[in-house]
Amino acid sequence: MNLSQLHVLVVGGATGGAATALLLARAGARVTLLEKVAQPRAVGAGIGLAENGLAVLESIGLGPAIAAQGRAIETPATVDARGRLLLAPPRPTPRLRMIRRSELQGLLLDALAAEPRIERHFGADVIGAERDGRVIARVDGKTVEHRADLVVGADGVHSQIRTVGRFGVRVRPPGIAYLRALVDVEAAQGVEAWTGAGIFGSFAVGGGTYFFASAGARACRRAIETRDLEALRAVWARAYPPSVPLLGAVRRFDDLILNRVTRVECSTWVDGRLVLLGDAAHAMAPNLGQGANSALVDAAVLLDELRRADDLAAGLDAYQRRRKPAVQHVARIAGSLGALSELTNPVARWLRDRLLVPLVSRLGGDPTPRVLQEPTATLLAIGRA
């Protein structure tokens, strides 16, 4: 398919949408990007870039900058509250880097600005779309209509494109919430701990630490409902002492970001000229760290299949057939892992840690290829072609 004759409208300018715009534009397409947030640079906390996501970003030239700004995670193990190993990373360990989300977004925004085939519109709120490629957006109080050969809905878990299209969506009610924060102290443990209060993970980023914590335990929920930072610190000090310097560095309750896990499943990702990508198509539990990374793989595979296909419909069908089973498998594993990690009953945790986890580790084999979904060499080649 000749991409130079294709006009693509990408809705959503976060990680997956920005990568999609860059990949398609550099392959010759004319791209219009609509992003709801007027100033998207300063959002979020931290993000873990796995081997597959790194390969896509490296293929569009961001490898050196990510290596400079991110921090490598050498042994991303899972431990219990006392630091005893529960799950060891596979050998060889796939690459993993932690970076401030705002830094990654800044790199992507700079790359978008430097690409002449991309027309960018920030503060553009999509209010309607049709399967023939028409999109209605509101910018500065004015209604604007766009027309494109292809509309990519990369607009997240609350996707407007998914709402207006016929995708057979199933959105599961929000599950356990997670707290996230960036603090300017270097007290990262570099592991994810499964504790009596749920998960607590902490990883180094430039100039500090990114940490995340479950908010499902009753005492945690109560502290969050009352916005009582001291009570939250006390809960985690009892459950996981390494949390003390990290939560102690949080100055205000508002410095914590609260996210609820939402699972999105669609019977189809394609409706005419509308196609879904990333969380809009397959939002999942965060327990494998594959949310944003899977969106980056989506972007690369979409380009690859469009380039191979004779026409748009064939390319979109091939994209869906290639991506949907792979990412559904990862979402199922992440959901199961999330349920296991959130056990707070002492007996259930003992059975999990001493019996179930060792048994799964011995019998499960190396899950890395299926978790990463596509070979690294393939992802690198797609963006560099």
Pairing assessment for the beta strands 270-271 and 96-100 based on DSSP bridges: unpaired
Say what the pLDDT of residue 385 is.
84
Of 6, 2, 99, the C-alpha closest to 54 is 99
Of 322, 337, 323, the C-alpha closest to 367 is 337
Q: How would residue 364 be classed by pLDDT, with cut points 50, 70 and 90?
A: low
- Name the least confident of 172-176, 219-223, 284-288: 172-176
Structure tokens at 100: 């401030």
Q: How would residue 376 be classed by pLDDT, with cut points 50, 70 and 90?
A: very high
Q: How would residue 363 be classed by pLDDT, with cut points 50, 70 and 90?
A: low
If residue 56 lies in a helix (H) or strand (E), which one and from where to where?
A: helix 51-59
* Cα(337)–Cα(10) distance, integer angstroms: 32
Say what the pLDDT of residue 174 is.
67
Q: Does position 184 have pLDDT exceeding 90, yes or no?
A: yes
Q: How would residue 339 be classed by pLDDT, with cut points 50, 70 and 90?
A: confident
Say what the pLDDT of residue 42 is.
62
Say what the pLDDT of residue 173 is.
75
Say what the pLDDT of residue 144 is.
93
Say what the pLDDT of residue 358 is.
80
Of 9, 98, 14, the C-alpha closest to 296 is 14
Say what the pLDDT of residue 322 is.
98
Say what the pLDDT of residue 92 is.
82
- Name the least confident of 5-14, 79-88, 195-204: 79-88
Please indicate whether residue 326 or residue 174 has the higher confidence score (pLDDT): 326
CA 136, 137, 142, 145 dihedral sign is negative
The mean pLDDT value for 115-144 works out to 94
Of 383, 276, 382, 290, the C-alpha closest to 334 is 290
The mean pLDDT value for 316-326 works out to 98
Of 154, 158, 88, the C-alpha closest to 360 is 88
The mean pLDDT value for 92-117 works out to 94
Per-residue pLDDT tens for 237-283? Answer: 999 999 999 999 999 999 999 988 899 999 999 999 999 999 999 99
The mean pLDDT value for 95-106 works out to 94
CA atoms within 13 A on the CB side of 69: 18
* Cα(326)–Cα(320) distance, integer angstroms: 10
Say what the pLDDT of residue 12 is.
96
Rounded to the nearest integer, the mean pLDDT of the chain is: 93
* Cα(189)–Cα(294) distance, integer angstroms: 26
Per-residue pLDDT tens for 66-95? Answer: 999 999 998 888 999 999 998 888 778 889
Per-residue pLDDT tens for 27-76? Answer: 999 999 999 998 876 667 899 999 999 999 999 999 999 999 999 998 88
